A = this chain, B = another copy of it.
Amino acid sequence: MSGDRNNETRYLLEEQVGFLLRKANQRHRLIFSTEVDNEIAPAQFSVLAKLHEVGAVSQNQLGRLIALDSATVKGVVERLLAAGYVHRERSPDDARLRIIQLTDEGRITVERLLPVAERITELTLAPLSEQEAKTLVRLLSTISL
């Protein structure tokens, strides 16, 4: 490789955003599962947190709120139902809708986990300064549509 010009467009996987986003996600997931001690999975927590914020919603609506495909929501909700954290019922107004809301146990669980979630965010951002953390959040928001 004696003719290798390093001013040329040399593709370095490690510098590509896609690769870095995957790695960053990886580390976040690790921190997440450690902190919640495998009590709940990330997507499931997102659902609980959102339901805690907005109350009762239909499944599709829920998916839109947390950016999850309706097929994915199905699975996540299914597991939360099995765990007894949420409750599902047909809407009296629209026979197509399935309204999801927290059970008492679900509400108690989210409220207990919210501080843990904040700690997870903190730990994930720990290698950065306060300022850098803010910047990262801003830049990520910008490229997320």
Is B128 a contact partner of A142 (Cβ separation < 8 A)?
yes
Is A22 a contact partner of B67 (Cβ separation < 8 A)?
yes
Copies held by the complex: 2
Q: Which DSSP category, helix, strand, loop or mixed, fits chain A's interface?
A: helix
B-contact bits for A107-130, CB 8 A (1 contact / 0 none): 000000011011011001101100
Inter-chain contacts of A136 with B (CB < 8 A): 17, 136, 139-140, 143
Is B18 a contact partner of A21 (Cβ separation < 8 A)?
no
Knowing A139-B132, A140-B24, say if A125 contacts B17 (CB, 8 Å): yes
Surface stretch bound by B, among A8-16, A74-82, A89-97: A8-16
- Does chain B have a CB within 8 A of A83? no
B-contact bits for A40-76, CB 8 A (1 contact / 0 none): 0010001001100100000000000011000000000
What total of chain A residues lie within 8 Å of the partner, measured CB to CB?
46
- Give complex CA distance A22, B76 in Å: 16
5 A–B contacts from the bound complex (CB under 8 Å): A17-B125, A128-B139, A128-B142, A128-B143, A136-B136
> With contacts A16-B121, A21-B28 known, what are 6 further pairs, Cβ within 8 A?
A9-B115, A13-B53, A18-B124, A24-B143, A27-B144, A132-B142
The 7 closest A-B pairs by CB, nearest first: A23-B144, A20-B140, A136-B139, A21-B25, A24-B144, A18-B28, A127-B142
